[in-house]
């Protein structure tokens, strides 16, 4: 069964450093998402991406964040200058359609720890 | 804004007993509702969804959910819980006009052997 994969599984970085989280969505999916889950809190939407551009972003997704689909398979989330409060589990998801009734498929997550 | 609420933090149930995980929703228009499960060190896995039609929705791993419009609820159920069902369960709803998912806080389910 096809699945979303994410690398690395755990990333430790120093405050102020740049990090890139990588995702490989399901191959025939066209819509891609990043969510994050701070320890003990809700899963929160960050951004959605379609046709090589951001289709929606939340208030969390400020200028420190960017997303890119550098080739036909990878989807990346970059945090330019990490802050302590960026420590969280980051989930990538993809879906085949954009309709509201279509389920999203999630990867296993990258645990980001900012020291 | 579309939202869901999961009133309980943890649900403890003995193996073999019925399992219920509660979710209530607040939406404008017709709701689309989802349940996801998160096993330890794993990503969110889709369990089932309600779009329209039959109020009882059947999903993966023997789970089902009942959509109740008058009570604005979408509780997840399983007739006979297994120890392997111990996990974190999330109810979710897409925002109106787009597909960003808004999640509930999650319920930790502990099935006791």
Is residue A31 less than 8 Å (CB to CB) from chain B?
yes
Interchain proximity B99–A98, CB inside 8 Å: yes
Supply the pLDDT for residue A100.
63
pLDDT value at B32 more than 80: yes
Supply the pLDDT for residue B29.
80
Is residue A95 less than 8 Å (CB to CB) from chain B?
yes
% chain B with pLDDT above 70: 97
* Residue length of chain B: 113
The 3 state secondary structure assigned to B26-73 is ECCCCCCEEEEEECCCCCEEEEEEECCCCCEEECHHHCEEEEECCCCE
Nearest chain B residue to A109, by CA:
B43
CA distance B108 to B89: 6
- Give the tens place of pLDDT for each residue, B48-96: 999 888 899 999 999 999 999 999 999 999 999 999 999 999 999 988 6
Residues within 8 A of B (CB atoms), A 36-55 only: 41-45, 48, 55
Supply the pLDDT for residue B28.
82
Q: Do A15 and A84 touch, CB atoms closer than 8 A?
A: yes
Supply the pLDDT for residue A99.
66
Supply the pLDDT for residue B70.
93
pLDDT value at A65 more than 90: yes
At B83, is the secondary structure helix, strand, or coil? Answer: helix
For residue B99, what pLDDT band results from cuts at 50, 70 and 90? confident
Nearest chain A residue to B38, by CA:
A108
Supply the pLDDT for residue A98.
63
* More confident position, A2 or B8: B8
Interchain proximity B98–A100, CB inside 8 Å: yes
Mutation target vs B (from A103, A105, A108, A109; most B CBs, 10 A cutoff): A103
For residue A70, what pLDDT band results from cuts at 50, 70 and 90? confident
CA nearest to B47, candidates B19, B71, B11, B14: B19
Average pLDDT, chain A: 92
Instruction: Give the number of A-B residue pairs with CB atoms closer than 8 Å.
Output: 63
Supply the pLDDT for residue A71.
86
């Amino acid at each position: 069964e096809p699945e979303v994969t994410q690398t690395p599984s755990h990333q430790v970085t120093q405050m102020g450093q740049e990090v890139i989280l990588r995702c490989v969505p399901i191959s025939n999916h066209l819509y891609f998402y990043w969510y994050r889950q701070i320890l003990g809190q809700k899963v929160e939407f960050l951004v959605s991406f379609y046709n090589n551009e951001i289709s929606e972003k939340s208030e969390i997704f400020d200028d420190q964040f960017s997303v890119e689909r550098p080739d036909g398979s990878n989807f990346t989330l970059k945090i330019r200058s990490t802050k302590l409060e960026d420590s969280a589990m980051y989930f990538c998801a993809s879906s085949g359609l954009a309709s509201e009734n279509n389920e999203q498929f999630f990867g296993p997550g990258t645990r980001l720890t900012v020291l | 804004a579309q939202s869901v609420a999961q009133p309980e933090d943890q649900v403890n149930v003995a193996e073999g007993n019925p399992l219920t995980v509660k979710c209530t929703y607040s939406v404008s228009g017709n709701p689309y509702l989802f349940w996801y499960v998160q096993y330890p060190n794993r990503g969110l896995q889709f369990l089932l969804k309600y779009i329209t039609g039959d109020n009882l929705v059947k999903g993966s791993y023997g789970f089902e959910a009942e959509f109740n419009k008058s009570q604005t609820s979408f509780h997840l159920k399983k007739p006979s819980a297994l120890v392997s069902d111990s996990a974190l369960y999330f109810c979710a709803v897409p925002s109106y006009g787009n597909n960003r998912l808004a999640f509930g806080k999650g319920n930790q389910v502990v099935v006791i052997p």
